[in-house]
Structure 1
Amino acid sequence: MTRPLDIVVIGLSLSSSWGNGHATTFRALLRGVDAAGHKVTFLERDMPWYASRRDLAKPGFCKLFLYGSVDELMSLHGQKLAGADAIVIGSYVPDGVEVIDAVADLAPKRLCFYDIDTPVTLSKLRRGDEEYLARRQVPCFDVYFSFSGGKILDRLRDEFGARRACPLYCAVDLERYRNTGAKRTWDLGYLGTYSPDRQPTLERLLLEPARQLPEMRFVVAGPSYPADTAWPENVERIEHLSPSEHADFYSRQRFTLNVTRADMIAAGWSPSVRLFEAAACRTPLISDWWEGIGHFFPPGEAAIIAHSSVDVVRALTGVSERRRRAIAGTAYDRVASAHSAEARARSFIETIESVAPKTDLAPRHCERRLPA
């Protein structure tokens, strides 16, 4: 590192993890960036939904500022943005298209996009839905960091004109996610906000096994589940868990379940942060299948792949304690070596530093012609 970078991130949320995976992802990454000696400022739109549910109002690893509108963002922080070594704008930022245009007009030294929802974003753009990113803006970024890897990076370049598309998977803070030694409470658990496209899989891979195994205990944690959801009697419900409670939650499970959104399955190479968190706590994974999962967690060695309730029941009743521990240990080793916050931060910083900073004051007009 030649000198510390001054990085500004404009993201959906850092202060509240309620109902979104962005906060957890940003927290792990930015802790790693801070530990490497760089300076980070996070700018977050002050939204009512998060205002009443903040669980990290004063992060110790970066400066956090809230703003009320795009005009306020630019009036209060325009000078800081213009002088930053790099600006990173995240997906699902409110009024994101307007934010990107306003920031681009400042002629920033380096302008990046961090898409924590890449498959969803591209599906929206193909439909003409430009909720937080316009198709014309994709080529404006020096780097398009993508939550998803694999073939989706080729589509970003070839179909949408991204200058440089790089994977930036989520990561886990190994200091905060570790086995707590808590007494085991559940045989199988799941952590995730309700999503209509995930619910059939949750039904198949957790609720149905719970009905078949009434002597075992299950748990589902996360908000927004419909009031009329038919929960079996042996499934405990937890409305919300703050990140500070995640490690204990995983440590109390014999196995943990991962359920992937349909867009992420279709794209492949989109590991959920929950996979890394559970593995860091040495809780063995049962997951649905998606292309690329073997790169992160080889089936049978670091995770159990389940296609049906039969697979889950077989795992809960037939996997020995010795094999369970071996699967958990292999998953932990893979996460610790390649998917820690420090490892991800190094990749993030190295990519930013590889981009020559813009030195002229001409604004970045995000209207380049896309490839034919």
Structure 2
Amino acid sequence: MKIAFYGSSLVSSYWNGAATYYRGILRALAERGYDITFYEPDAFERQQHRDIDPPPYAKSVVYPATVEAMRAVLAEAAEADIVVKANGVGVFDRELLEGVTAAARPGALKIFWDVDAAATLDEMRADADHPVRAALPSIDMVLTYGGGAPVVDAYRGFGAAECVPVYNALDPTTHHPVERDERFACDLAFLGNRLPDREARVEEFFLRPAAALPDQSFLIGGNGWDSKAMPANVRHRGHVFTAEHNAFNCTPRAVLNVARDSMAHVGFSPATRVFEAAGAAACLITDAWEGIELFLEPDREVLVARDGQDVADHLAALTPERARAIGAAALERVLAEHTYDLRGAQVDVLFRAHAARERVAA
């Protein structure tokens, strides 16, 4: 089956945290025989900060961020068996969503794939004219990056015919243990872009412990932090390319995950960083959110912090030996239960079930 996928970027993770999610899911689907084309706009300097070359598992089409180019790539949706519009493309999101549903051929599976469902749902509650609300009657299926029952129930309440969480996971061919890299040496590292709905939580869970532990070293990676005032024991790394993520995760004594406000509120929304860190056998400290135990066991496979003081307490008590044990247990868990191969199998079942229903209807 042919998939036309309209998203932010497959080849660049620059201001694009969903990149590794797309790569893992689409690689797994390609291995199951799907013919995939990924359409992304040339926007936000992503093409100047590519992490990878166009991959073998999907045809990469980069189009100019113009109305004319957008319309041209939308026309190609008519050739696909499955048409996917992901949220957060950043350019012409409304027009792309309206366009893919209109251009899809009769019988094609039309999907809205929401990689920021909690935030999208907040927007929909506040705006009766939100484009996703308007498009749901024409959408066959909503797939989400996470969110569990709260997100499923909310989407169904807005009229979604079907909503299924497809959680982040690990691609062990991309994220795995490597040798230490002294560029990333520290006691606690955090990787994430500076976003309005994350910054206050980073202040609490990262900068507050740094200020409380002046004898320990901290490292922050990601875009936008260069202008942020930080304690003297915090180093800013800037954008960290995907190829550097393993060393970034393997080298520090511990790695921190901080959820965005909406994801922390809803729960059941592990970030890609959770599985990347676990896949590298890193000792992960995460802010508390509902559902963490479905993915990693607290105190054995992950350390959970309710606030910045908890982070500081974890670090003060964390020996290198215990950090290695937690990281090893996390790696064993995600390899067994949370790989993109398993997520791909889940999505394949959904796609084939829809195709079978269409054949019966025909």
Normalising by the residue count of structure 2, what TM-score does the alignment of the two structures yield?
0.91
Task: Supply the AA of the counterpart residue of 2:288.
Answer: W
Task: Supply the AA of the counterpart residue of 1:102.
Answer: G
* Range 257-266 or range 106-115, more displaced: 106-115
1:12–1:304 CA distance, 2 compared to 1 (3 A): same
Aligned to 1:312: 311
Distance in 1 separating the partners of 2:311 and 2:102: 53
Stretches of structure 2 lacking an aligned partner (at least 5 in a row): none
The answer to whether the 8 A contact 1:142-1:355 is kept is: no
Distance in 2 separating the partners of 1:156 and 1:101: 18
Aligned to 1:280: 279
Deviation, 1:57, is 4.3
The answer to whether the 8 A contact 2:181-2:247 is kept is: no
Distance in 1 separating the partners of 2:174 and 2:302: 22
The answer to whether the 8 A contact 1:284-1:325 is kept is: yes
Stretches of structure 1 lacking an aligned partner (at least 5 in a row): 360-372
Aligned to 1:37: 33
Deviation, 1:37, is 2.9
Distance in 1 separating the partners of 2:74 and 2:249: 39
Q: Alpha-carbon deviations, 1:279-337, whole Å to 9, x = none?
A: 00000111111111111122212211112333222211213344322322221122112
Aligned to 1:171: 169
Q: Alpha-carbon deviations, 1:178-215, whole Å to 9, x = none?
A: 11121561111000001233223222222222233222
Normalising by the residue count of structure 1, what TM-score does the alignment of the two structures yield?
0.88
The answer to whether the 8 A contact 2:74-2:103 is kept is: no
Aligned to 1:230: 229
Aligned to 1:27: 23
The answer to whether the 8 A contact 2:40-2:61 is kept is: yes
Identity of aligned residues (%): 32
Task: Confirm whether residue 220 of structure 1 aligns to residue 217 of structure 2.
Answer: no
1:241–1:33 CA distance, 2 compared to 1 (3 A): same
Distance in 2 separating the partners of 1:179 and 1:139: 45
Deviation, 1:43, is 0.6
1:322–1:150 CA distance, 2 compared to 1 (3 A): farther
Distance in 1 separating the partners of 2:285 and 2:298: 10
Deviation, 1:113, is 1.1
Larger RCO, structure (CA 8 Å, separation 6 or more): 1
1:128–1:226 CA distance, 2 compared to 1 (3 A): farther
Q: Alpha-carbon deviations, 1:88-138, whole Å to 9, x = none?
A: 11002322222222222234311111100101111111111767x331212
Distance in 2 separating the partners of 1:120 and 1:160: 15
1:105–1:217 CA distance, 2 compared to 1 (3 A): same
Q: 1:59 aligns with which of 52, 55, 61?
A: 55
Q: Alpha-carbon deviations, 1:236-284, whole Å to 9, x = none?
A: 1111111011011101111100101111111111110000000000001
Q: Alpha-carbon deviations, 1:16-64, whole Å to 9, x = none?
A: 2111212221112112222333221101122253233233342222100
Distance in 2 separating the partners of 1:220 and 1:30: 29
Aligned to 1:200: 200
Deviation, 1:71, is 4.1
Specify the SS of the correspondent of 1:65: strand
Distance in 1 separating the partners of 2:129 and 2:200: 28
The answer to whether the 8 A contact 1:181-1:251 is kept is: yes
Specify the SS of the correspondent of 1:41: strand
Distance in 2 separating the partners of 1:116 and 1:101: 18
* Range 49-58 or range 269-278, more displaced: 49-58
1:33–1:221 CA distance, 2 compared to 1 (3 A): same
Q: 2:80 aligns with which of 65, 79, 84?
A: 84
Q: 1:101 aligns with which of 95, 98, 103?
A: 98
Aligned to 2:10: 14
Task: Supply the AA of the counterpart residue of 1:9.
Answer: F
Aligned to 1:355: 354
Distance in 2 separating the partners of 1:129 and 1:242: 38
Distance in 2 separating the partners of 1:135 and 1:225: 34
- Aligned CA-pair RMSD: 2.1
Distance in 2 separating the partners of 1:257 and 1:136: 38
Distance in 1 separating the partners of 2:230 and 2:136: 43
